[in-house]
Amino acid sequence: MDLAGKPAGGHAGHSHDPGELDFDEEDGHDHGSAGGHPYLPPGLSLALLLGGIALDYVKPGFFTGYVRLLWYAVAFLLVGWKVIRAAVLSIPSGNVFNEFLLMSIATLGAFAIGEYPEGVAVMLFYTVGELFQDAAVNRAKRSIQALLEIQATEVTVVRGGQPLVLEPSAVQVGDVMEVKPGEKVALDGTLNSQAASFNTAALTGESAPQTKQSGEAVLAGMINLESLIQVTVTAVFKDTKLSKILAMVQDAVGRKAKTQQFITKFARIYTPIVVGLAALLVLVPYFVVEDYVFRDWLYRALVFLVISCPCALVISIPLGYFGGIGAASKAGILFKGSNFLDVLREIDTVVMDKTGTLTQGVFAVQQVQPAPGTAPEQLLRLVGALETKSTHPIAKAVVTHVGTAAAGVPVESVEEIAGHGLRGRVDGREVLAGNTKLLTKFSVAYPPEVDQVVDSIVVAAVDGKYAGYLTVADAPKEDAARAVQELKADGISKVVMLSGDKDSIVQRVARELGISEAHGGLLPEDKARYVQQYLTEGRKLAFVGDGVNDAPVVALADVGIAMGGLGSDATIETADVVIQTDHPSKIATARRIARATHRVVWQNIWLAFGVKAVVLALGAGGVATMWEAVFADVGVALLAILNAVRIQRMDFASPQTPNAHRSLSADEV
């Protein structure tokens, strides 16, 4: 909470909205003066309070009247003047009934009836509670704020053969950056150097270095690990993925969950009600109590006001959600708002794209099946050499698999036959490489079982005779099967795969991953039709995708989840949750974080309501004193804050991960 008492436009009448937990240090939670030492005024106030209590016990002659009042007044003003100022400055903005007003009335009222030590104690402990809350907020912000620090503040660009040091915002697309070992990449680009290793932990949460080859994408925020490299810029500063990630995270802080919205509205209604009840607690007994003593009933009303302060609710709940967002960001999962933590917890259906989501999105040779009498090495050498003349993704996969085995092999008279494949002379021999239609076209017989192969296939013939085939497929990600298992174990009743790929391939991948329902050969509108059907059935649905064609379906789902590493910008911008590591198993991790956050938030709500209800009743009955009131307010707030901070310490690693150190799982909260 901010006790600076800023007028409208600042934080006057602080509501503790999560949007106020911003990243502007000048707009932070300043509790102190004394040259930026916030603990000094409370420390001096505590010393004066303890000294005053000791003098009250000894009862020296000088410590009476105005001397005693002045002593406690100084102790009070050291911690109370900012609260009183905040209460006054919040009046013009219309935010009259807030915790500042409650604490001001209660403590000044205590002074008015001569209860100086209790008035000081209430304000002192309230201020100490504020300091603890600030520390908790800063802790929750730290993991997110670390993202801001990975943006490079300057970049070396080579122009006209000369290196220039510029601000990232001044660099243009097409410029060539030089990145030294240990430096951060400032902008997205493609690697010009032959190869380079990068630390991507700040972006993805993964500790293992990534190696990039020439021509591969390099993202802002990666740290160059080894030698001087050059990178051609492909996106201006505001369009880098890192800039978009930071914008997402900062926007997320302002998007409230339903629980937060309810508590904020509740506090605005609740506070004026308790002020009215406190007034009635003073006035009504005058007419119904026979031995009415104004001072006694005023004291009860003041105790009632202190107890009723809603601090524990209005700070610990946003802090709980903020902690959930921070814990997710450390795991490489970006929630665009705390409301999506609640929605993700409630889903019962997960629909996923195949390519790039459950599979690697990169074609690779899966099987080499030479014809009898043909050596595998010979088949690969001839087909690989011929495929170097094609730019088709399947041809590139074959060339990558063959590697240097086809280097230097002479290739001539290459003819590309649209929809069929390639024909050419390789090392003096006529070679055909393509689909089965190519062999049929040139009257080359092949075994009938070749037509039963599910994967994409490259069939070859050498000198008019069938020579064998290679299958090319998009392999599942390492954690794809585990992701499906975890979702089912986590209570997801329906896991579906939708893909534009050939249905036979989709069904095979579904069987490998343990997905019971899968549909292939779909256009974007077909995917949207399936998702709309599930929503019409009353399901709470999350859709996970990465391609441009997934953006409409991502927007249609209750929660849209994008793969942020390889995913398209359109899908990432449309999504509600972004998985930076591209690991589908992080969907279950996000669910564990969402459930833990929800559990902690409601623990805080019941704790605050329960304790306050009991102590309010005791205060109204004259049993509870200001000291019990302090516990009911500040003590409960501190307990709630400590509970919320636990989210940052929880281990959300998969329970199925071998040898994983699990200090506390979401289900153990």
Query: Looking at residues 40-56, what average pLDDT do you find?
Result: 91
CA distance 518 to 535: 17
Task: Please tell me the least confidently modeled range out of 418-422, 630-634, 644-648.
Answer: 630-634
Contact (CB, 8 A) for 253 and 82: no
Q: Is 94 exposed, middle or buried (0-12, 13-18, 19+ CB in 10 A)?
A: exposed
Task: Please tell me the least confidently modeled range out of 2-16, 147-161, 194-208, 209-223.
Answer: 2-16
Q: How far is CA 99 from CA 136, 275, 481, 637, in A?
A: 19, 11, 51, 13
The proportion of the chain whose per-residue pLDDT surpasses 70, expressed as a percent, equals 79
pLDDT, position 259: 53
pLDDT, position 518: 94
**End-to-end distance of the chain based on CA atoms, in angstroms?**
27
Residue pLDDT, tens place only, 487-538: 999 899 999 999 877 788 889 899 999 999 999 878 777 888 899 999 999 9
Residue 463, amino acid = D
Q: With a cut of 50, say whether residue 205 has pLDDT above it.
A: no
Task: Please tell me the least confidently modeled range out of 155-169, 337-351, 574-588, 644-658.
Answer: 644-658
Q: With a cut of 90, say whether residue 375 has pLDDT above it.
A: yes
Q: How far is CA 491 from CA 346, 389, 484, in A?
A: 10, 50, 11
Which element (helix H / strand E) includes 314? helix 311-330
Residue 9 pLDDT class (50, 70, 90 cuts): very low
pLDDT, position 499: 85
Of the candidates 315, 291, 152, the residue with the CA atom closest to the CA atom of residue 219: 152
Residue pLDDT, tens place only, 387-438: 998 877 788 889 989 988 888 899 999 998 877 889 999 999 999 999 888 9
pLDDT, position 608: 80
CA distance 545 to 578: 10
CA distance 227 to 216: 17
Average pLDDT value for the chain: 79
Q: Which residue has the tokens 């707009």?
A: 27
Query: Looking at residues 96-115, what average pLDDT do you find?
Result: 76
For the segment(s) 361-475, the CATH number from 1.10.579.10, 3.40.1110.10, 3.90.1640.10, 1.10.287.70 is 3.40.1110.10
Residue 658 pLDDT class (50, 70, 90 cuts): very low
**Dihedral (C-alpha) 523, 539, 569, 321: value to the nearest 10 degrees?**
180
Q: With a cut of 50, say whether residue 385 has pLDDT above it.
A: yes
pLDDT, position 4: 35
Contact (CB, 8 A) for 8 and 92: yes
Q: With a cut of 50, say whether residue 669 has pLDDT above it.
A: no
Which element (helix H / strand E) includes 302? helix 294-308
Residue 590 pLDDT class (50, 70, 90 cuts): very high
Is 291 a catalytic site residue? no
Query: Looking at residues 458-486, what average pLDDT do you find?
Result: 92
Query: Looking at residues 141-162, what average pLDDT do you find?
Result: 71
Higher pLDDT, 2 or 650: 650
The proportion of the chain whose per-residue pLDDT surpasses 90, expressed as a percent, equals 28
Query: Looking at residues 562-586, what average pLDDT do you find?
Result: 73
Predicted structure pTM score: 0.61
DSSP string, 592-659: HHHHHHHHHHHHHHHHHHHHHHHHHHHHHTT---HHHHHIIIIIHHHHHHHHHHHHHH-----TTSTT
CA distance 500 to 495: 17
Greatest mean pLDDT among 211-220, 257-266, 305-314, 320-329: 211-220
Query: Looking at residues 280-291, what average pLDDT do you find?
Result: 88
* Spatial CB neighbours of 74, under 8 Å, sequence gap ≥ 6: 48
Higher pLDDT, 246 or 452: 452
pLDDT, position 29: 37
Three-state secondary structure readout of 221-285: CCEECCCCEEEEECCCHHHCHHHHHHHHHHHHHHCCCHHHHHHHHHHHHHHHHHHHHHHHHHHHH
Q: With a cut of 80, say whether residue 69 has pLDDT above it.
A: yes
Q: With a cut of 60, say whether residue 648 has pLDDT above it.
A: yes
pLDDT, position 253: 46
CATH classification (class only), 155-248 = mainly beta
- Both tokens of residue 652? 């959300």
Q: Helix, strand, or coil here: 432?
A: strand
Query: Looking at residues 551-579, what average pLDDT do you find?
Result: 74
pLDDT, position 23: 31
Q: Catalytic pick from 353, 455, 550, 582? A: 353
Q: With a cut of 70, say whether residue 661 has pLDDT above it.
A: no
pLDDT, position 248: 53
CA distance 371 to 379: 9
Query: Looking at residues 571-591, what average pLDDT do you find?
Result: 83
**Dihedral (C-alpha) 599, 600, 603, 608: value to the nearest 10 degrees?**
-150
pLDDT, position 668: 36
Of the candidates 386, 315, 340, 444, the residue with the CA atom closest to the CA atom of residue 14: 315
- The domain locations on the chain are 155-248, 361-475
